[in-house]
Structure 1
Amino acid sequence: MAQIRLAASAAVLAAVTMSVVPSPLKSQASAQDRVLSIGGSVTEIVYALKQEHRLIARDTTSSFPAEVMDLPDVGYMRALSPEGVLSVGPNLIISEDGAGPQETIDALEAVSIPFITVPDGYSAEGVIEKIRVVGRALDVDAAAAVLADEIANGFEQAAENLKKVDDPKRVLFILSTQGGRILASGTETAAHGIIEMAGGINAITSFTGYKPLTDEAVALAAPDVILMMDRMGDHQTDTDELFAMPALVPTPAAREKAIVRMNGLYLLGFGPRTAQAALDLNTALYGQ
C-alpha cells in the first residue's frame, strides 16, 4: 500500500474510508454506478454519452450542462481533499489530467478506488481521445465511437469554414490582470489551441504555459484582439480599465477596443462543444 502523505490526520482519513469504500466483492458493473467526474470536459462527455445517471458528484470546474450543478461538489480539481472525495462514496473516479494535489491522488489509490486519468489534448484529435477514454472507463465503447464520429464530423465542418480566413488576427489571451500584471498564454495551452483552431494567431509564442508579461513584451506582441474568459463580479476586468493599462495602450487591440470574452469552460474546455466554440470565436474575430 502506498504511503499516504496528508495534512489531515490518518485517523480522520481512516474513518471516512471505512464508511464509504465499497466491498471488493461488488461487480465491476456495480462499481461503475457511483462515478465521480473531475474536470469540466470529462463531465460534459459523460452527459454526451448519456451516462449522467451514474454520476454521484462532480468538481467545481464541472458546470455544464446546467443540471450538473445539482450534484455534490467535491472542490476544485487541483485542490482536492481525500475526505471530500471519499465522503461522496465513489466507486470510480474519472478525471482530467492535472487533478491533485498528489497526496490526495495517493490516498485514493491507497484505498483502491479506480482512478482513470483522461489525457489533455488541445486539438480535435485530443477531444476524440478524451471521448474514447471516458467511454472505455464507463464500458460504453460503442456509444463513445458514435459520439467520436459525430464530434470529428463537427471539427471537419468547422475546419472548412475556417479556410475562409485570409488575414489572420494576432490574439492575446489574458488569463488575469491581478496586481496590474498581465498573465498571458504562450504555447501548449488550451488558449493557444482554440486561437489557432479559430483561425487566429497566438500573439505570444516565446514560452509555454501561462506567464506574466512585461509591458515591453505586450507591446512587441502587438495583438489585434484581446481574448479573455467572461467572468462574474470582482473577477471581471473592466474593458476601459484593461485598455488603460500602460502595457496595452500602444497595441492595435487598444486602439480599436477589440476584446472578445467567452465562457471559460466553453472556450477552453476542449470537450464536445469545442468545434462550435471555435466557430463562435472565429465569428467574434472576423464577423459573419
Structure 2
Amino acid sequence: MRQLSAEGLLSLKPDAVIATSEAGPPVVLDQIRQAGVRVSLVAARHNWAEVQEKVKVVGRETGRSSEADKLLTQLDAQWSSVQAQVAKAQRKPRVLFVLSHSGSPQVAGKGTAANALIQYAGCVNVIDQFDGYKPLTAEAMASAAPEVIINTTQGIEALGGEAAFWKRPELVLTPAYAKKALVTLEASHLLGFGPRLPSAVQALHMRALQWVA
C-alpha cells in the first residue's frame, strides 16, 4: 500500500489510519490529517521489531492494548521457535523472488521485504547487486543460478498459472527451471510483515529445503 487516495479513505469514515512509512504520497496523508483523522505510521524496517510495533499501534488505536500485549507474547514465542528451527538447517537454498503482479516481472534485490524474508527463512537471495526491484535479463538470471523461485499466488495467477510462468524465457537457463522449483504464498502473507510473519518464514524455509533436498 503506497499510493493512497484521500477521497477513497475518507469515504470510509475512519477514526484512524494505520500504515507503514512506505505509504503515500505524503500530500494524501496530510489531507487525511487535515480532515481530523489520526494517522499512525510504522517504520517499514522489514524486521521483527516492525511486526511488534504494528501490533502495539493497532492495540493502542483500537483501545485494546491489553489484548495486543497478549498477542505479542504469543507471537514472540512463535518467532523464537521458527528462528530456532531455521538455525538448525544444514543447507541455505539459493533463491530468487520474482514480482509479477503486472507488467514485466521484476526481481527483488536488497532493501526489500522479500530480501528480508528470504534471509529470515535461512535462504540466500541470489540478487545482491542492487536495491529494490528491477527486471533481469535471461543471461543475468542464468548467472545468478537460483535453485528455487519464489512468487506470490497472485503473481502466478496474473501470468496465467504455473505452466505459463515456466514458459518465460528468463527462467529456462536457471537450475530452478530443471525441477520447476517454485514456492508460492499469498502476497500479504509473504510480504506483509504482520502477525503471520512466523508462519510465512516457516513455510518458505521448509518448502525451499524440500526443493534442494
Alignment TM-score, normalising by the size of structure 1:
0.67
**Partner-residue secondary structure (3-state), 1:231:** helix
2:157 is the alignment partner of 1:231 = no
RMSD: 2.3
Q: 1:203: which partner in 2?
A: 126
- The equivalences for 1:33-182 within 5 A come to 77-176=1-100, 181-182=104-105
**Partner-residue secondary structure (3-state), 1:130:** helix
Q: Which runs of 5+ in 1 are unaligned?
A: 1-76
1:236–1:245 Cα change, 3 Å? closer
1:169–1:85 Cα change, 3 Å? same
1:218–1:233 Cα change, 3 Å? closer
Aligned length: 211
- Asked whether the equivalents of residues 131 and 148 of structure 1 are also in contact (C-alpha less than 8 Å), the reply is yes
Deviation at 1:125, TM superposition (A): 2.4
**Partner-residue secondary structure (3-state), 1:213:** coil
Q: CA deviation digits over 1:30-59, x for unaligned, max 9?
A: xxxxxxxxxxxxxxxxxxxxxxxxxxxxxx
- Asked whether the equivalents of residues 100 and 155 of structure 2 are also in contact (C-alpha less than 8 Å), the reply is no
**Partner-residue secondary structure (3-state), 1:148:** helix
1:85–1:262 Cα change, 3 Å? same
Q: Which runs of 5+ in 2 are unaligned?
A: none
Q: CA deviation digits over 1:61-116, x for unaligned, max 9?
A: xxxxxxxxxxxxxxxx4333222222222222222322223332121122232111
- The equivalences for 1:270-285 within 5 A come to 270-285=193-208
1:275–1:102 Cα change, 3 Å? same
- Asked whether the equivalents of residues 243 and 249 of structure 1 are also in contact (C-alpha less than 8 Å), the reply is yes
Q: Which has the larger radius of gyration?
A: 1
1:256–1:175 Cα change, 3 Å? same
Per mean C-alpha deviation after superposition, the further-off stretch among 86-95 and 217-226 is 86-95
Deviation at 1:171, TM superposition (A): 0.7
1:140–1:265 Cα change, 3 Å? same
Deviation at 1:237, TM superposition (A): 4.4
2:192 is the alignment partner of 1:269 = yes
Alignment TM-score, normalising by the size of structure 2:
0.88
For residues 145 and 186 of structure 1, what CA distance do their matches in structure 2 show?
34
**What is the percentage of aligned positions where both structures have the same residue?**
35
For residues 177 and 93 of structure 1, what CA distance do their matches in structure 2 show?
26
- Asked whether the equivalents of residues 177 and 237 of structure 1 are also in contact (C-alpha less than 8 Å), the reply is no
**Partner-residue secondary structure (3-state), 2:194:** coil
Q: In structure 2, give the amino acid aligned to 1:236.
A: L
Higher relative contact order (CA 8 A, sep 6+): 2
